[in-house]
Every structure is written in structure tokens, then in C-alpha cells.
Amino acid sequence: MNVFPPVDPAKEQRLHRALVPFFEATCTEPVEYVTSLTRLEALDLVGMTPSARHLSPADLDGDGLLPDQATVSVPATAYRPR
């Protein structure tokens, strides 16, 4: 079971629309890597997602529900002031 919901695919476009009156995008590079997680880090990550509202502490006590690694995958965009 994946406890981390996917990121809204329109998030990058919303951010760009909010910044474009003040900043100009100069470049975008994909950043992706896998990182190990401690149990506390995994709990923190779950706590920052909508899943936190749907899971009880008892749901997270069992073995196997929390991941021991996560893939970080973000577009990194550099902006300069207009």
C-alpha cells in the first residue's frame, strides 16, 4: 500500500502562473533521487500528506505499511525578477 498520494499534476503550472507577473523562468531541470527513511522520517512525511487524515496511529504501527525509502522527484525551476 502506498501511503503517499501523487502530487497534483497541475501544481507546477499553478506555481508558474502565480510567479509570472513578478518573475521570469530561466530554466527547469528535473531532480530525482532515492533516499532512505527512518521510521520517524516516514511518519513525518505521511503527516504532511492528505493520507494523515485517513490513517490512525494504529494503522501506522504495523510492519510494512511505512516505506523505508522514498523517491524524491521534482522539477527545479530557476526564476529571475522581471
In a domain, 4, yes or no: no
Q: Which amino acid, residue 45?
A: L
CB count within 10 Å of CB 80 equals 8
Residue 71 CA to residue 82 CA, distance in Å, equals 34
Q: What letter would DSSP give residue 49?
A: S
Q: What letter would DSSP give residue 62?
A: S
Q: Does pTM top 0.95 for this prediction?
A: no
10-residue averages of pLDDT along the chain (82 residues) = 69 92 96 94 84 76 79 92 94
Q: What letter would DSSP give residue 67?
A: -
pLDDT at 41: 92
In a domain, 5, yes or no: no
- Full domain range(s) for residue 66: 11-81
In a domain, 44, yes or no: yes
